[in-house]
Structure 1
Amino acid sequence: MNLIEILVKNIIIVIVCTLAVVGCLPKQDNFQPENAEIVGEQQAKLTLPPEVPPPIEREDATKLIVDLEVVEKEMRLADGVEYTMWTFGGSVPGKFIRVREGDMVEFHLKNHPDNKLPHNIDLHAVNGPGGGAESTFTAPGRETVFSFRALNPGLYVYHCATAPVGMHIANGMYGLILVEPWEGLPEVDKEYYVMQSEFYTEGGYGERGLQPFDMDKAIEEDADYVVFNGAVGSMMNKNAITAQKGDNVRLFVGNGGPNLTSSFHVIGEIFDKVHYEGGSRVQENVQTTSVPAGGAAMVEFITEVPGNYILVDHAIFRAFNKGALATLAVSGEEDENIYTGQQLDRVYQPEGGAIQELPQEKRAIPTASTTEERIEFGRETYMSVCQACHMADGSGIEGAFPPVAESDYLNEDPDRAISAVVHGLQGEITVNGETYNGVMPRQNLTNEEVANVITFILNNFGNEGGEVTPEQVERVRQQEASTS
């Protein structure tokens, strides 16, 4: 080897070592998150939507402690419309959780003592039974703890998985957890948390007052509201998210569902990058991206010119008629090389506000002429409406939903069952010697349907038999209405 070859070799060695020192080369080409050394312990910083915790700057995996409390409370769904939300951390969606690949996450789920129902959590980022749901069934006033290793980088949904799962999700129990890759995400100027979901209410869109959950509409996937971050207008006007011209903006977009796929779009922007389905692969130059129920995506774009950019579900009636609208307000100097603004003034009539009255399909309810028919019709109603909580065999769910099988509560006075169905039921009751303290929402059923389903229950599951008539249902309905 001559002198020149020796000098070249030494120069290459110096360059390689320098690059390694400054971090331009991968530190661990064979990084294995399941074997990463756990260094120290930290408390995770959680944020309310639309904010996102800051990027993780540490280089080592750590024991990361996550504290999340379930709170049931009335919250705004739209102007003049309230809804009893079941929340992770007091907000809908729940607080944003940010961890690093390789971290050992110690998860603490707390159920506020004033809550009515037990809850748990299924984190899609977890490798383990139920995503943690089996380890976190938590009664009011209790705390449960489990740990998991963050193995797969990506953006993941979490949600409650307590039966009936759909009802818990529909009432607001969902959020996002980001598992950063060990090398981190590329730096951007702004990051925001946006999560779409639906609400199913007994009243139509915009009907004022405290709105109960409607199970029938949820099963039929007939949403009254489709919103971002838990309410109509949650990110508009003074609550709009913001950026400066030229900023690189990253949106962590989730879809809590429980039913509908989102066609997520920002009017006036093109996504430079989309981590579709929240994973590692990147699609470029995307106009609209699908985000399935229980799924997520990361989108990035540069704000070239100032103005208000509208976030929508491009299943467009959801945006203009059900609430799926938000605003990104971008400030800065105009750039006519990119966009001129208005050059011609024409008459334009915008779509305007939401439709207050929508045509509704009339259900054909068969009229029972015999007790046997009433039982058979009631079976169909039970399977579609009641079994989610009270189970197909009438056994209920211990600590949450009372049994209708061999039920002393129902057999002693069927009017109790009628009242629970037509007016809802809240507070402590005792069934077969066990105390239950929960919430049963009022069911949107006709007198005929109520008579049918209670007659079915009374004649099944080991109960004592009997028949309830529509006239009896109407009597209970009017009695309760006159005292409320």
Structure 2
Amino acid sequence: MTRHPYSRRRSFLKAAGIGAVAALAGCTEDGADAAAATPATEATDSLDSTASVDVDRIAADPTDVPDPVDWNSPRTHDVTLETKEVTAEIEPGVTFDYMTFDGQVPGPMVRVRRGDTVNLTLRSPEDSNLPHNIDFHAVYGPGGGADATTIGPGEEATIQFKATYPGVHIYHCAVPNMDHHISAGMFGAILVEPKEGLPEVDRELYFGQHEIYTNGEAGEEGHHEWSTEAAKNEEPTYMAFNGEAYAFTEDGYGRIPVEQGDRVRIYLSNGGPNLSSSWHAIGNVWDKLYRDGDLVSDPGRFVETTPVEPGTVAAAEIETPVPGPIKIVDHSLTRVVRKGLLGVLEVQGEERPEIYDPDP
């Protein structure tokens, strides 16, 4: 998968911890300016030392979206997903044991047309420790395919299904401890385009929101273990886009560049496993909103904030007439300020004072 231009690692905000990264007005992501605003929470129990990582990056590239459907008759697609259990950083100095599809969070987007057939193979390496499966919300069948795809280490299973109904749907692991597996990264999206296709846009982006429940505090260096108790209380340590705190900010892999005037369609897969998202773009609105993955009803227009329930994928389009940052957030803003849930687009172009003038 292409990593450029978001391949650099960010420096750990030692002075601020995670809490101050977005503390200033407008949810700025400049950690240096925010460092004194909110001190890191002091943990009550010490963590184990930071574990060695298996991958340098767990966050999927939001620009890695399959091309739009350009065929007019049913096709058959062979799709293979591999379960990968890896240790990676939530933020520098903070490690966690993730569970993933294909080693990234969220798992790769699958894109087909209504009426297409999918041959899906789920494969688990021999060095895996746990059983896994996959529940596609686009599948008619027991468990959305989960019953037939439950596999152990070194095993694989294949199912075939027809993409009968259009929409953008979540997929996720659905073993008995599914809250742990989903929280640790095992979710993604399948886009079933209507037979007539989707309206053309200039750019498409794909994010996955989820909660990470650990035995530590946000910003506390060391190896964080999954906490069943925190999950039961629905008190996440981190909330993230694509598995990492503040991944797509200046302190992360950088803002995502967008050309001025582009119409951008954004997909948000809310893996949860528990909390709804109040999805909002600071400095913009959802010009067209496809609620709950519904791609056939008339979209909502000029919506400021929309709920995206866990187990749901939403799609929305924005226009970009004015240069500068557009901050993608959950408007439950403590999640932005203190738990890591912020991504930033950077619209690149000329000032448009007739639309917005910061210094009239």
Instruction: Identify the match of residue 254 of structure 2 among 239, 242, 263.
Output: 239
Q: Show the counterpart of 1:341.
A: 358
Amino acid at match of 1:335: R
CA deviation after TM superposition for structure 1 residue 48, in Å: 4.3
Instruction: Check if 1:322 corresponds to 2:339.
Output: yes
| Counterpart mapping for 1:34-183 below 5 A | 48-50=60-62, 51-183=64-196
Q: Show the counterpart of 1:222.
A: 235
Q: Count residues with an aligned counterpart.
A: 297
**Which one has a larger percent helix, Structure 1 or Structure 2?**
1
Q: Show the counterpart of 2:317.
A: 300
CA deviation after TM superposition for structure 1 residue 210, in Å: 1.4
Q: Is contact 1:49–1:93 with CA below 8 Å preserved after alignment?
A: no
Instruction: Check if 1:198 corresponds to 2:214.
Output: no
Q: Is contact 1:48–1:96 with CA below 8 Å preserved after alignment?
A: no
Instruction: Check if 1:272 corresponds to 2:287.
Output: yes
CA deviation after TM superposition for structure 1 residue 170, in Å: 1.5
User: Secondary structure at the residue paired with 1:112?
Assistant: coil
CA deviation after TM superposition for structure 1 residue 151, in Å: 0.8
Tell me: CA distance 1:125–1:49, structure 2 relative to 1, closer, same or farther (3 Å): farther
Q: Is contact 2:121–2:159 with CA below 8 Å preserved after alignment?
A: yes
- 2:272 and 2:254 map into 1 onto residues whose CA distance is 23
- 1:128 and 1:49 map into 2 onto residues whose CA distance is 31
Structure 1 segments (4+ residues) deviating >6 Å: none
- 1:48 and 1:259 map into 2 onto residues whose CA distance is 21
Measured against aligned partners, the alpha-carbon deviations of 1:95-137 in whole angstroms (never above 9, x if no partner) come to 1111111001000000111110110000111111100000101
Q: Is contact 1:109–1:144 with CA below 8 Å preserved after alignment?
A: yes
User: Secondary structure at the residue paired with 2:358?
Assistant: coil
Unmatched 5+ residue regions in structure 2? 1-58
Q: Is contact 1:49–1:96 with CA below 8 Å preserved after alignment?
A: no
Tell me: CA distance 1:206–1:116, structure 2 relative to 1, closer, same or farther (3 Å): same
Measured against aligned partners, the alpha-carbon deviations of 1:364-395 in whole angstroms (never above 9, x if no partner) come to xxxxxxxxxxxxxxxxxxxxxxxxxxxxxxxx
The TM-score, its normalising length taken from structure 1, stands at 0.60
Measured against aligned partners, the alpha-carbon deviations of 1:42-97 in whole angstroms (never above 9, x if no partner) come to xxxxx944121111111111111111000000011112111110000100111111
Amino acid at match of 1:242: P
The TM-score, its normalising length taken from structure 2, stands at 0.81
Instruction: Identify the match of residue 200 of structure 2 among 178, 187, 204.
Output: 187
CA deviation after TM superposition for structure 1 residue 240, in Å: 2.3
Instruction: Check if 1:250 corresponds to 2:265.
Output: yes
CA deviation after TM superposition for structure 1 residue 211, in Å: 0.5
Unmatched 5+ residue regions in structure 1? 1-46, 344-484
The structure whose Rg is larger is 1
- 1:302 and 1:118 map into 2 onto residues whose CA distance is 43
> What is the percent sequence identity of the aligned residues?
43
Measured against aligned partners, the alpha-carbon deviations of 1:325-370 in whole angstroms (never above 9, x if no partner) come to 0000110111001100244xxxxxxxxxxxxxxxxxxxxxxxxxxx
Amino acid at match of 1:334: E
Structure ranking higher on relative contact order (CA contacts 8 Å, 6+ apart): 2
RMSD: 1.2
- 2:265 and 2:184 map into 1 onto residues whose CA distance is 27
